[in-house]
């Protein structure tokens, strides 16, 4: 089994992105699966082009995107990507689309094909806080999750895809004292534990367990 794991470069004046740093330090194999690591730009459209090229090159069984969600205190597994770009800040090329559909002929939304509840349980079992998120935002994280699912759908590929958000790491919040953070070591451990569950549940249904929210 091949698993393509992507991490974004730093954005919004940050000098580091914990998503990318974690991806770089993931094991090369997990439960016998080969982990293919890819840095992608925090740029609308260009990020999708890079991922689509990698899918064609490596023909992975799973595509897992990792992104930074500053302000969140847990590792969060995204349930859904929506067909809209609505950027509150510019991307790394200065692009700031407002209320633009990602794909005019795409679905209103694509749901993660990964066993998100099993992944949450696996990460928690490793001693790392985790939960399901029902919004990947409307910036490049949502964009790449949507674009990857759109590409898989239109090309009819036997590939499963999803997205995980990670918190800031401590060095990013030195001047942001109210912001939560998580050590890079714990982020790496959490992602690795989540990938284990993706492998174990690859041909199985997700766990039927509570994971929703009231609001």
Question: Active-site residues: which are they?
Answer: 78, 141, 165
**CB-neighbour burial class of residue 198 (10 A; exposed 0-12, middle 13-18, buried 19+):** buried
* Torsion on CA atoms 66, 133, 52, 188, rounded to nearest 10: 20
């Amino acid at each position: 089994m091949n698993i393509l794991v992507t991490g974004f470069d730093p954005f919004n004046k940050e000098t580091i992105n914990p998503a990318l740093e974690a991806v770089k330090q993931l094991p090369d194999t997990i439960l016998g699966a080969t982990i293919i690591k890819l840095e992608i730009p925090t740029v609308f459209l260009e990020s999708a082009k890079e991922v689509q090229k990698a899918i064609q090159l490596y023909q992975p069984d799973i595509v897992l995107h990792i992104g930074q969600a500053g302000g969140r205190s847990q590792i969060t597994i995204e349930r859904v990507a929506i067909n809209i770009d609505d950027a509150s800040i510019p991307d790394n090329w200065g692009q700031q689309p407002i209320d633009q559909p990602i794909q005019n002929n795409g679905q209103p939304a694509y749901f993660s094909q990964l066993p998100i509840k099993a992944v949450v349980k696996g990460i928690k079992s490793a001693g790392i806080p985790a939960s399901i998120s029902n919004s990947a935002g409307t910036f490049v994280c949502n964009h790449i999750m949507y674009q990857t699912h759109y590409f898989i759908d239109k090309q009819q590929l036997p590939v499963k895809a999803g997205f995980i958000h990670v918190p800031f790491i401590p060095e990013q919040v030195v001047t942001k004292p109210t912001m939560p953070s998580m050590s890079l070591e714990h982020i790496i451990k959490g992602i690795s534990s989540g990938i284990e569950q993706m492998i174990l549940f690859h041909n199985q249904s997700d766990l039927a367990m509570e994971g929703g929210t009231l609001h």
